[in-house]
Structure 1
Amino acid sequence: MTEQIDKITKYRLASSWISTVLSITLVLFMIGLLGVIIINAQRISEETRENISFEIMLLPDTKQGDILAFQKRLEAEPYVKSARFISKEEATQETINMLGHDFREIVGDILPPSILLKIHSQYTSIDSLEKIEKAIHLEPNVTDIQYQRTYVENINENIYKISLIMLIISAVFLIIAITLINNTIRLSIYSKRFLIKSMLLVGAKRMTIQKPFIFKGIMQGIWASIFAILILGGVIYVAYTRIPGLIEINEPLYYGYLFGILILIGVFFTWLSTFFSVRKYIKMKIDKLYF
């Protein structure tokens, strides 16, 4: 009879431990999934911004050596991602291909040599682009600089709105996640409230009572984090291999940070919830344990 009771008790404890870990795993997985979305949204934002280009028009009679020297100076600038020289002949051929006929028969050979400049994403605000434009205009061989200002303004505005929405969603989701972890731990501790009070009544110190519960809570957080990372890693791998372009793993460091954050959240909030839940029942009067 005693052995049967022990088996039932062990089964209940194991079931409670597993259900707690699975609940926390699900919460951490959802946080991780949101993190993956944010990482890839940032990547798409950077790629979109870095597609913004300047077309620097040069004087028709600019010497080849001067153009190459100017191109090298541009490539040395921190804001430049790439600088590609387009000769008069190349520009003419590209325009003919685009129009479908030889425009020179009507307007003559009017296209000057140019340099197509692409900018790093962190320099694509309107203020930065205006400063870059002014600096380039100081070059004696530059006649004009063309870029789609309205298009750039729309991109920056849309990226700002999307970033703000993602920030709000992340904050709300984190609050919900913390609440769910806290409630899961509290329910787990609630089932052991009489054990906590019994330990206190037989003379155990508060720290002695708290230690095993806190250790168990931390271990639950660690295991939940590991399971969440494994599931998330599987989802990332499947999405990367089956749906090209949806998820990129060119920056593994970002995913390393994300996995580290999941472990910190799992361990910290299980520790915090366990600490306060156990302390609550240590301080609670015996008659209130029944409610």
Structure 2
Amino acid sequence: MPRSIDSFNRQRLITSYFSVTLSITLVLFLLGFFCFLVLSTQKIANHFKEQVAVTILIKDNAKSADIAQLQKTLSVAAFVKSLQFISKEEAAEKFSKDIGEDFVTFIGTNPLQNAIDLSLKAEYAEPEKLGEIKRELEQNSFVSEVIYDQSLVALIHENVNRIGLITLVFSALFTFVSVLLINASIRLSIYSKRFIIKTMQLVGATRSFIRRPFIRLNVRLGILSAFIAMLLFSLSLWGIVKSYPEFSILVDAWILLWVFLGILVMGILISWGSTYFATQRFLNLKTNALYY
């Protein structure tokens, strides 16, 4: 009979630990996912901003030396990520391939102009800064016009700010919910040991002595849960990138390091805090209140 009781208690203890670990793991996994989204928002925004093309059209009477000097100046400019010179002949050839017809032969002349295509750094791909860059470039007498999609730039700028704010709000909300869920799981686990806590208190054990084993145990469970959550997150991210290669732009070693560090720290802090306050609550209860 004692063996069956010991076996039952051991099984119940294992089940309790498993449920706490599982709860913390799932919450930390989702919390890590939202942290990843928050940290990746800026990278995604930068990626789209850097796709904005700025084309500098050069007048036909421009001197080769002036064009070369402009290219040299732009190559070291703070706002330029990359540039490419496209001659009017190259542009005509590409356009002919696109439309499937040699339009130069058809109209008898090449109406296109020499151009320099710029790819800007993300921090400069904003409406105000692009306007300043456009005005500065058009001050060159041999520059015909500076072209970029103003409506697209404004749309990207507006949506990036909006998405960033929404993601931040949802992440903060989910972090709060995560803390509540992990706290509830740990409190439920400690609730089953409330009589042990009170018995130890009645025989003279100090509060810190009573709390210590519970904190150690649940912090260990929090660390274990954090590592399992990291593994699940890594496998999920690997599966997403494998199925949708375009999402590979989100994979950044530093972002992943911060996400994993955040998962580990949150697992430890929430487990420690929840255990501390849960044991404190039962230590403050009177003996009769333990039955309710």
Q: Percent identity?
A: 34
How far the C-alpha of 1:197 sits from its partner, in A, is 1.0
Please give the TM-score of this superposition, normalised by the length of structure 1. Answer: 0.92
**Other-structure match for 2:211:** 210
Three-state SS of the structure 1 residue aligned to 2:247 is: coil
State the one-letter code of the partner of 2:126.
Answer: S
**Other-structure match for 1:192:** 193
Deviations along 1:62-89, one digit per CA (max 9) or x if unpaired, are 2333322311221212221111001121
State the one-letter code of the partner of 1:8.
Answer: F
Please give the TM-score of this superposition, normalised by the length of structure 2. Answer: 0.92
Residue 24 of structure 1 contacts residue 181 of structure 1 at CA under 8 Å; is this kept in 2?
yes
**Other-structure match for 2:50:** 50
Residue 40 of structure 1 contacts residue 247 of structure 1 at CA under 8 Å; is this kept in 2?
no
Partners of 2:179 and 2:61 in 1: CA distance: 67
Partners of 2:206 and 2:179 in 1: CA distance: 29
State the one-letter code of the partner of 1:34.
Answer: F
**Other-structure match for 2:254:** 253
Q: Flag structure 2 segments of 5+ consecutive residues without an equivalent.
A: none
Partners of 2:130 and 2:250 in 1: CA distance: 30
Q: Is 1:277 aligned to residue 278 of structure 2?
A: yes
Three-state SS of the structure 2 residue aligned to 1:246 is: helix
**Other-structure match for 1:242:** 243
Runs of 4+ in 1 over 6 A off after TM superposition: none
State the one-letter code of the partner of 2:147.
Answer: Q
Partners of 2:287 and 2:136 in 1: CA distance: 77
Most deviating of 134-143 and 169-178: 134-143
Three-state SS of the structure 2 residue aligned to 1:139 is: coil
**Other-structure match for 2:222:** 221
How far the C-alpha of 1:47 sits from its partner, in A, is 2.2
State the one-letter code of the partner of 2:15.
Answer: S
Partners of 2:9 and 2:70 in 1: CA distance: 80
Most deviating of 85-94 and 205-214: 85-94
Three-state SS of the structure 1 residue aligned to 2:60 is: coil
Partners of 1:247 and 1:90 in 2: CA distance: 32
**Other-structure match for 2:22:** 22
Q: Is 1:128 aligned to residue 126 of structure 2?
A: no
Residue 57 of structure 1 contacts residue 142 of structure 1 at CA under 8 Å; is this kept in 2?
yes
How far the C-alpha of 1:238 sits from its partner, in A, is 2.1
Aligned length, in residue pairs: 291
Residue 217 of structure 1 contacts residue 271 of structure 1 at CA under 8 Å; is this kept in 2?
yes
Deviations along 1:159-199, one digit per CA (max 9) or x if unpaired, are 22222222222122212111101111111111111111111
Q: Structure 1 residues 247, 288: closer, same or farther in 2, change over 3 A?
A: farther
Most deviating of 133-142 and 168-177: 133-142
Three-state SS of the structure 2 residue aligned to 1:61 is: coil
Deviations along 1:19-39, one digit per CA (max 9) or x if unpaired, are 101111011111223344455
State the one-letter code of the partner of 2:52.
Answer: I
**Other-structure match for 1:116:** 117
Q: Flag structure 1 segments of 5+ consecutive residues without an equivalent.
A: none
Deviations along 1:117-159, one digit per CA (max 9) or x if unpaired, are 1112222111111122222223343221011101211122222
Partners of 1:107 and 1:47 in 2: CA distance: 41
Partners of 1:134 and 1:198 in 2: CA distance: 80
